Amino acid sequence: MSHSPVSSVASTSLPSHRPPAHASLNQITTLDKNGQEITTVGFNRFGFDSEVPLDVLRSLYLRSHYVLTTNNLDDGNNLDSGAAEIQHAKFLQGHAAYQSKSIFHPDTQSISYTTLSRFPPVKLLPPSQRKRILVTGGAGFVGSHLVDRLMLLGHEVTVLDNFFTGSKTTVSHWVGHPNFEMVRHDVVEPFMIECDQIYHLACPASPPHYQFNAVKTIKTSFMGTLNMLGLAKRTKARFLISSTSEVYGDPEVHPQTEDYWGHVNPIGPRACYDEGKRVAETLTYGFQRQDGVDVRVARIFNTYGPRMNPYDGRVVSNFIVQALKGEDMTVYGDGMQTRSFQYVHDLIDGLIALMNSEETRPVNIGNGDEYTIGEFAELVREIVEKVQDQDGDVRTRRVNIVYKEMPTDDPQKRRPDTTRAKESLEWQPRWTVRMGLEEMVRYYKAKMAEGSI
């Protein structure tokens, strides 16, 4: 994969800045699977340039919305102090000018919010290249990272979200920007807008959330997709649906190719999500065949990264938060079930590549590096300890790994065959699980330092 050096991108529209003194001491470098340093994410392919400097992107999620406490403030002007600031600075390398300066008062558990004084710089695209893009579920974990990327690239982005699992804080740093609009809306109801591309991500995706109201989940999958496909048909927009590896159920084929039909329990506790996504795919191809809608289907495998809800029951966030808090890490079953984990930046690269390519068949987007859950727990523990040691944190004890009973219909094996993505999109994951985990551990650690976890 060829990547132009960060300076060439930065010089056009997204300036990089000299890091502050305390960041450069412990500046963190990120290496990909080939040992090359990752300085940019994205690429220029299929006539769509999606490359942005990694440090600019990080400044949007590794710097919190309220990082500053009044503990060390002599007056209201010295707003760059405190443990949280130092945690974030290790990754940020000097993009503080584009951040809010809200103040957290730990003694009264209160917060003084402020609006951004300045937005991060975005590319200035000519009208012919600037797209109007609708992102449903754009305030969610994956959606917010996609929005950050599309905004930095200079496109006009509208986020549609009902905030059932999403949060305004994930995209609040764009509110007020002339290219950005956020609408509180439930996709179960029709929505009218003019747009060129629709990324349809709206649906709760973790078992505690989608099982909370199973009927609503399947209604969102079906009615939401029906409404957005209707919109794509009327506006002649290209439509991408985020489907899931759950369409394969508990697979009997390993690894799973896109041609595998799946092995799903249609009446189990996970069926509202699994079958909801399967019928959403059916609907998508119905619109393609019947009405000529330009569609893309991304089957997303396990993804992790900053902005994951730490309490949504997903294995990565569970393990990291438990380990950071010094609590025992919980593994369900015997720990021999396998998962493959991809980092969120790789997923966003894949989604943008698929949207702008000519590939209309379903495409698996995931990382083929497979771990047993037991191995993964040990890896998370090791990385948390490494980060704590680097930062001089003292542990009272080593956390243990404890085993509990397996939930119903939990798949035993899950690993994508990404041959199609490699051939059609020239896409493959760049981030190692280890590098992604380290960044995510630092994200949660900084969140704890500021008191928001």
The set of catalytic residues is: 273
What count of other Cβ atoms lies within 10 Å of the Cβ of residue 1? Answer: 12
- Cβ burial, residue 172 (10 Å; 0-12/13-18/19+): middle
Which H or E run includes 365? strand 362-365
Residue 428 dihedral angles phi and psi, to the nearest 5°:
-150, 155
How many residues does this entry show for the chain?
Answer: 453
Instruction: Say if residue 255 is preceded by a cis peptide, omega within 30 of 0.
Output: yes
Dist CA 119 CA 174 (whole Å):
7
Written as six digits, the tokens of 48 are 């769509």
Which H or E run includes 121? none
Bridge-based pairing state of the strands 48-49 and 44-45: antiparallel
Written as six digits, the tokens of 408 are 């119903």
Closest CA to 439 of 383, 399, 381: 383
Dist CA 247 CA 159 (whole Å):
26
Geometric angle at alpha carbon 244, from 278 and 294, rounded to 5°? 70
